[in-house]
Each structure stands twice: as C-alpha cells, then as structure tokens.
Amino acid sequence: MKILLINSNRYYAYPTIPVGLCIIADAVENDGHDVCILDLFFSSNCKQALQDKINLYKPDIVGIGIRNIDNAAGYKTEFFLESIKNDIIIPCKKFFSGPVVIGGAAVGISGAEMLSFFGLEYAIQGEGENSFVEFIRKYKHHEVLDSIKGLIIHKNGRIVVNNPPEYIVNSKPDFLGHHVFRFIDFNKYYKRYNARLQIQTKRGCALHCVYCTYNRIEGKRFRLYEPQSIADHIEFLVHQTSIRAFEFTDNVFNIPLTHCKEVLKAIIQKKMDIDLTTMGLHPAAIDQELIDLMKQSGFKETDLGVEAACDISLKNLGKNFTKAHVLNAGELLYKNNIHINWCLLLGAPNETESTIRETIETITHAANKWDLISTGIGIRIYQGAPISDKNTSRQSLLLPVNYVPENISLEQIYDIVEEYASNHFNILIYNDYEKKHNPLSRAVSNLVYAYSQEKIFSPDLPSWQWFILYKRFMKAIDHYL
C-alpha cells in the first residue's frame, strides 16, 4: 500500500526535525509498503502542498504527526490545533477520501478529544511503530481494527475504541542502522535553523512532576537503551549527514546517573568532533565525574531544569531535589565552563510573591551574566498530568486551561519577572507577547538572530548569548533615544 505521512509541526520558535515520523516511515517501509513524507514545516502554502502531493502520490492511507497541542505556556498560551485543523486536516479531508490516522506526542495526551475536534475517525496514542503497521495490514485485508494497541476510534460523535498505548521495550535506539534520513532533508533544518538532531538514551519517566505528561506519553518507568548502541547510532548519523550537533531529548538526561555516564563514556571512545547539549539535567544527579564526561564527549552548554529555587515551590511542583541541589549543580557547571540555560517555571501550587522573589533572586545571584534564565509563567494543565486534578471547572483540557495559584495571579507574576528582567539582561520571559519593539529594535533583533544561527562570530557561543547581547544593546539605544 502507499502511505503518506505528514509533518504538521510549523512552530518556528523551536524548529524540530521530525525524527519520530521518520521512525514510523522506516517501520512502514520495512513491512513492505511504499511510504512518503510530506514535511510542511517549510511550506508557505499547506493547502496547495497537500493537494499537489495527494494528487501526485495517490496514497491509500494518510498519517499525520502532531507534536504539540500548543506552545506549553501557562500564560497567554498559543493554541496550535486550530491552525492545524484549518490548514492541514480540512484540506486533507477535501482532497483525500481514505482513512486519516493521527499520531504523535499530542495524541498521547488528548487523542480522543483531538479526534472529536478534528472530525476524524482514527488515532494511535503512544509509540506507533508497531501499531500503525498493524493498522495498515488490517485495513488492507478488511480485518477488525479494535484490538490494535493504542488505537482510538471515533464514530458518530463518540469514542467507540480507546485502547491503552504500547510502550515498546527495545535495547537499541529506534533507527540505528536504518537510513531514515532519506525520508526528509535533515540538513535543511540544520542550515536554516541550526537545528540539532534529537537523540534519546531511554524512554519513559519514573519521576512525578505535577505539570508533566511524560508519564502519560512514554510510560511510568525508564526503558534504557544500550550505551554502546547510542554511541554507534550517533556515529552513524555523523557519517551519513553533515550534522554534528545533537540534543539529548530524554525527559531528564542524567537519571539514572550510572546509565548516563556509561552513554557518555561510549561516545568518548568514538572520538567524534560533535557538539552536544541536553534539554534537561536533574540538579540532584550532577557530580564532578559527570561534568568531566560531558566536557570530554562534546558538551559546551546545557539546560538545567530547576523550575524553582525555593524549597516550598520545589516540593509543590513534585520535585525530588532541593534548593541546595540547584545551587550545587550550578556551581559545578560554572566552574567547569559549561554554559547554562536555567529553566524556571513560576506559578506552582501555593506560590506567593515571596516564593517567586526567592527563586528569581537565588538564580540571578547564582547564574553567570551570560547564562540564560528562561522563565515560564504559569502551568498549562494537560490531561493526565498530576495537576489536572486541580481542574475544578472540569472543562476539557484540550483547549488551554492554565493553573492559577490561590495567592497570586499570573499577571502579578509577570510583573514581578518584568521588574527583575529590566535589570538582568539574561532573563527571558517565555512566550512574552507583551513586549513591543520599535522598527530599529526589530531590525537589530533579526540581525542578531541571523548571526546566532549562522554562528558567524563565534562557533562555540550558545545562541541564547546573542539574546543577552541584543538586550544590552537595545538598553543602550533606548538610553540615548
């Protein structure tokens, strides 16, 4: 059968190579089907691109990968599904009369609600490598679909099948040894957006952060990949593409700590000239040996997922570390010249002005002036996250629902962060739409962004340091205007 897979992600703030869709494509092709990926990330006209591809390719089944419901902001949330519906789902239904199956991380959170929202019949929640292939087989032979793991079926305005997701146990990374890069142009992402290739060293999460949906998407226990296989995987990709920049996208990279260290040791043995980072280090699982291994393997920067620097807030966020762990982690990274993106999430249950100020003052004191302090305001409540129990309105969590602490409003939190940001150039307020720029500032911002992506002046400079430089420059301009 001919299978068309569509990447619906068009969130330009964080260009993400659709590795998951390539894994699905590889599984489908290995089962003997013809498969093609339509990557709409770079498309200026989704409707036309869909019509052209469907008319030319004539698929039997269409699969659509949906990465995000929204931008995950807890304040002034940007909802993505409306544009996906209008620009992709509706045109797809217009030009194609066969079965359309949605999947991806977003479906793992609210798949049933998304089918109703889109007016579609099929979704696969969880890991779809096996389930989607089984769907194709059964559909081809007109067999009953009801037993497929992770399958959701929406008919006549109601959900008639909603099977638990499959969590695949596999000791090797998902596409090791397979030429999945042939499905899309990885280098296009790299050259235009300096995007990194995403690597997982495991799936699942055994932690219990109140806002998080990883447990729902990937399961509640860690499923570890073999360290040597991960290193082989990276070496393979280095040889097959021009990309040398990789990001570990585990929910938390350094837990279990022993496994993390073994992964880094295996990478070091390959003696590759690569640039590594990770979207999250756990502050309580950082020691000097880990730092040494990170530097030897290719780390120059990292995200540090602290969320807060107040023991009250950390406890209320469901964290299993303390303010002391946060400070120790920052000190170790700073002493070893690893640039830090401090990730904060303000607006925990029982948050107050006092806890907000303690967090900000602690981090601004601990952070280097060229470290970024990425500050999220408010918690977006998702289906299945522990904090969803606090959704007293009981309204659907598909549309944005944000948690508001009892003792302080999100607007007040924003004002406090703005107060500190006016004197600390390294504070970035996530999803800040209230900031207004004049034409000069927009021109300078665009120039700085372009230089940061091309890394014209300093190949080793994290892109976020250009943001700090830009803020300093604009402060000086404003002073003289």
- Residue 62's nearest CA partner among 164, 174, 139, 148 is 139
Residue 395's pLDDT band, with cuts at 50, 70 and 90, is: confident
Residue 168's pLDDT band, with cuts at 50, 70 and 90, is: confident
Instruction: Please determine, for residue 89, whether its predicted confidence score (pLDDT) is greater than 90.
Output: yes
Q: What are the structural domain ranges in the chain?
A: 2-162, 180-480
Rounded to the nearest 5°, which phi and psi values hold at 470?
A: -60, -45
Superfamily of segment(s) 2-162:
Cobalamin-binding domain (3.40.50.280)
Q: What is this structure's pTM?
A: 0.91
The predicted model gives 377-397 an average pLDDT of: 85
The predicted model gives 135-139 an average pLDDT of: 97
Q: d(Cα 120, Cα 90) in Å, to the nearest integer?
A: 10
The answer to whether 222 and 169 have CB atoms below 8 angstroms apart is: no
> What pLDDT does residue 436 have?
44
Structure tokens at 230: 């991960």
Mean pLDDT of the chain: 89
Rounded to the nearest 10 degrees, the angle between the axes of helix 129-140 and helix 19-30 is 40
The label of the residue with tokens 């938390």 reads: 252
CATH code at 180-480: 3.80.30.20
| Cα Dmax for the chain | 73
| Contact residues for 241 (Cβ-Cβ < 8 A; gap 6+) | 181, 186, 187, 190, 197
